[in-house]
Amino acid sequence: MTGTEAEPVQRRAARLVRSGLLDVEFYGALVGGSFDTDDDAALHAVTEGMPQRLSFNPFVDFARLPQPVRRAFRAGKVGVVLKHLEAEGLPAYDERTRATLLEVARGLGARGRTSLPDPLVDWDAELARLAERVPGRTSVVIPTYDDWFMTVRAATAVLVESGAADVEVVVVDNGSPPHVALALAGALASAFVGDDAIRVVHLPQNTNFAGGSNVGFARSTGDRVVFLNNDTRVRHGWLPPLLAPLDDPQVAGSQSLLVFPDDTIQAAGTVFPAEGLLPSHLLVGHPRQDADAVEGRRFSVATAAALAMRAEDVVALRGFDPAYRNGFEDVDLCLRALELRPGGFRVATGSVVTHYESQSPGRFAKAMDNRRLFVERWRDRLPAPEPEVYAELGWRLALPVADDGQPVPVARPVVTGRLRRDPDRLRWGLRIPSTGGHWGDVWGDTHFAEELARALRRLGQDAVVHRRDAHDAASTAYDDVSLVLRGTYPGRPAPEQTSVLWVISHPDEIADEELTGFDLVCAASTTWAQERSRALGRPVRPLLQATGLPSVDGGGDRSPTAVFVGNAEDRTRPMVHWAVEAGVPVAVYGRGWDDLPADAWRAAQLPNDRLGEVYRAHAVVIADHWPDMARHGFVANRVFDAVASGAHVLCDEVSGVAEMFPGRVRVCRGPADLRAGYDAALAAPALPVAEAGLSFDDRARELLQAVRGLRG
């Protein structure tokens, strides 16, 4: 290196020292050495460490930097990196987090001098310590390699969505590059400071899913274990239904219902479809509701993407066989487990897990090797084929012909249609605007559709729900009736099916041409339906919103605090502020209410299954509407829920709402109106049971009658 070339490097190193961000102890641990001076450490960082993505400070996370800054970092351009950090600000310094990352750095720096034991786990020692495992604790083991973001998301979701259950999470970093390992450890350490329910184990090399899962199990403490892929996100309420099958001593384990991000099924069980073919996942690409039919069904094998087992069984089986490299280790484990518990495996359809299915390098070659190994071991001992499972679930199946010359046969059975056993039993596909995944779970449109689907099933119909990104999924072709629930996003008619549009909200966004092409158009407003009928010259049928809550008597020992359920992130909600201004005590559930008095806000979210409980506990419910819904007479289903719960409702001005619910709903136009309505409600006698016609069962009957009339 010439002097002119060395000069800029020296200046960059000096700038790094002057910044005060060079943590010499941390950087030395990370590179596995030590430095006599800060200048030596800085020069090493600029010339060798930064090009290798090695950070000079535990709180400077290379993986989180924007792409242009990452390029500058790898080029050793200290000035660009420091300018970005000055603009964005460093994360708050935390000594405990630094200590965690310093320990990780020491392990990363010693990788070249560290070897893994063979075998990875001393299973005899695990057998001896079985009695030390904590009864009732569930250990969730998440192996990962070269991915910190999805892993942090997966681990965080487990702790967030498991409620008060005794759960621990063991993340096994399978030899990820140092910048990924540090990003993973740093994100979890800062998010869960002082939380002993989560920890990270860093291995010096990649031991694949089998080895990582075994090591994670050996570091766990629960008497039940869930093996979970890092590219997953568990959904609300996932754990109790997953563990419930383990109460049966004959059952070897259970898996969650795995769905793709669009909420179609990825795996609702795994079956051996024909002689000579390898197992395949069941109902791939179908809507979630199709999986309900497999609840309680025995399966010979399950997928370890989200698999629950007893710790004692994992020890007895000596875990996953590490000879498999990210494929078929779970099938192998399950078949061995049948010798312990012949009751097999279950799919817990109430335990939903989104699976993002990351693609690992060399996946195809590894898959072929895994298939060969599996076939060699199990060729003459596989469970009996189960081609009848599809027919039992109501589906026609096309099976590939097994090729005797193929050493690793792959099954790709294809569903070709439904088996129609009852011509009066229609399949309704409810197409909704909600997104897939956990965010879509909390949409009001999702709860609305699921209530309607349950009501249709009670009438002897089949009903499934298609989230927004699944409207064009291949499985929608199996529907007899396409019912578009029009909320914030439009839906298209399905010409091959009886096509129904039900406008339930946001009428100002709906152009007249959107109403064409449907066999039946309904609207949750009598006023708007009449206006559109006159304007279009075709009937628009009034079909009001509804409630899934049972009607109950009002009165009793109800709280005098008025309750409101709704978010304030995307709109103003003056009714709540009127209540505060008028001195009405309020209990608010929802996000975006930072400007409320501290005693008024209860929680960021109220689970839908608790809505009836909360409404029945309060004498007064506050309800409001989007401005266009109020203007056009679209009464929200929150009003129906509150009326069915026996509460008095204080509502903004919606065309016809007071006449629709006489004596139960009072329209408020300002703080004084709201105060007067609140006082009158508390002074009024208990309300009688609400009149009929409020329920989704009523709406389902109306829809079924109308569709049968169209179909003849």
Q: How many CA atoms lie within 13 A of 360 on its CB side?
A: 18
Both tokens assigned to 250: 């004959």
Q: What is the pLDDT of residues 693-707, one digit of tens each?
A: 899 999 999 999 999
| Whether 243 and 377 share a structural domain | yes
From 29, 63, 93, the end of a domain falls on 93
| Whether 86 and 100 share a structural domain | no
C-beta of residue 53 within 8 angstroms of C-beta of residue 74? yes
| Whether 252 and 357 share a structural domain | yes
State how many domains the chain has. Answer: 5
Query: If 0-12 CB within 10 Å is exposed, 13-18 middle and 19+ buried, where does residue 288 land?
Result: buried
Q: So what's the pLDDT on residue 115?
A: 84
Q: What is the pLDDT of residues 625-672, one digit of tens each?
A: 999 999 999 999 999 999 999 999 999 999 889 999 999 999 999 999
Mean pLDDT of 42-60: 96
**pLDDT category, 708, cuts 50, 70, 90?**
very high
Cα–Cα–Cα angle for 525, 530, 533, nearest 5°? 120
| Whether 264 and 295 share a structural domain | yes
* Position 706 in a domain: no
C-beta of residue 616 within 8 angstroms of C-beta of residue 594? no
8-state DSSP, 609:
G
From 230, 250, 267, the end of a domain falls on 230
The residue range of the domain holding 412 is: 235-419
d(CA 515, CA 492): 9
Q: What is the pLDDT of residues 414-441, one digit of tens each?
A: 888 999 889 899 999 999 999 999 999 9
* CATH number, position 458: 3.40.50
What is the H or E stretch that residue 565 is in?
A: strand 562-565
* Position 553 in a domain: no
Whole-Å CA distances, 478 to 17, 256, 395: 66, 25, 10
* Position 557 in a domain: no
Q: So what's the pLDDT on residue 360?
A: 45
Judged by phi (left if over 0) then psi (alpha if -120 to 50, else beta), residue 564 lies in: beta
| Whether 434 and 483 share a structural domain | yes
8-state DSSP, 267:
E
* Position 707 in a domain: no
What is the H or E stretch that residue 414 is in?
A: strand 414-418
C-beta of residue 76 within 8 angstroms of C-beta of residue 9? yes
C-beta of residue 216 within 8 angstroms of C-beta of residue 172? yes
Residue 611 has pLDDT above 90, yes or no: yes
Contacts of 81 (CB under 8 A, 6+ apart): 60, 65, 69, 72, 73
Q: So what's the pLDDT on residue 609?
A: 87
Q: What is the pLDDT of residues 568-604, one digit of tens each?
A: 987 889 999 999 999 999 999 999 999 899 899 999 9
* Position 696 in a domain: no
| Whether 316 and 241 share a structural domain | yes
Q: So what's the pLDDT on residue 387?
A: 81
Both tokens assigned to 253: 């384990």
Q: Which of 421, 422, 396, 399 minimizes the C-alpha distance to 410?
A: 399
| Whether 252 and 394 share a structural domain | yes
* Owner of token pair 């027919």: 391
Residue 88: CB atoms within 10 A of its CB come to: 12
What type of residue is 368? M
Mean pLDDT of 164-193: 93
Residue 364 has pLDDT above 50, yes or no: no
Residue 2 has pLDDT above 50, yes or no: no
Q: Which of 593, 577, 587, 580 minimizes the C-alpha distance to 647?
A: 587
Average pLDDT, the chain: 92
Listing DSSP states for 320-386 in one string gives S-TTS-SSSHHHHHHHHHTTT-TT-EEEEEEEEEEE--PPPTTHHHHHHHHHHHHHHHHTTTPPPP-
Listing DSSP states for 624-636 in one string gives ---HHHHHHT---
8-state DSSP, 83:
H
Residue 1 has pLDDT above 50, yes or no: no
Bridge partners (DSSP) of residue 226 are 140, 308
Percent of the chain residues topping a pLDDT of 70: 96
* CATH number, position 174: 3.90.550.10
Q: Are strands 481-486 and 427-431 parallel, antiparallel or unpaired?
A: parallel
**pLDDT category, 359, cuts 50, 70, 90?**
very low
Q: Are strands 265-267 and 253-259 parallel, antiparallel or unpaired?
A: antiparallel
Q: So what's the pLDDT on residue 91?
A: 77
* Position 450 in a domain: yes
| Whether 140 and 280 share a structural domain | no
Residue 467 has pLDDT above 50, yes or no: yes
C-beta of residue 104 within 8 angstroms of C-beta of residue 184? no
C-beta of residue 209 within 8 angstroms of C-beta of residue 177? no
Both tokens assigned to 451: 């209530």
Contacts of 498 (CB under 8 A, 6+ apart): 480, 481, 482, 519, 520, 707, 710, 711
**Measured in whole angstroms, how far is the alpha carbon of residue 625 from the centre of its chain?**
28
Q: What is the pLDDT of residues 519-566, one digit of tens each?
A: 999 999 999 999 999 999 999 999 999 999 988 877 678 999 999 999
| Whether 252 and 395 share a structural domain | yes
d(CA 190, CA 108): 19
C-beta of residue 564 within 8 angstroms of C-beta of residue 652? no
* Position 697 in a domain: no
**pLDDT category, 411, cuts 50, 70, 90?**
low
Percent of the chain residues topping a pLDDT of 90: 79
| Whether 120 and 80 share a structural domain | no
Query: If 0-12 CB within 10 Å is exposed, 13-18 middle and 19+ buried, where does residue 696 land?
Result: buried
* CATH number, position 659: 3.40.50.2000
| Whether 397 and 468 share a structural domain | no
Q: Are strands 198-203 and 265-267 parallel, antiparallel or unpaired?
A: unpaired
* Position 584 in a domain: yes
Both tokens assigned to 197: 């329910």
| Whether 48 and 107 share a structural domain | no
From 170, 195, 230, the end of a domain falls on 230
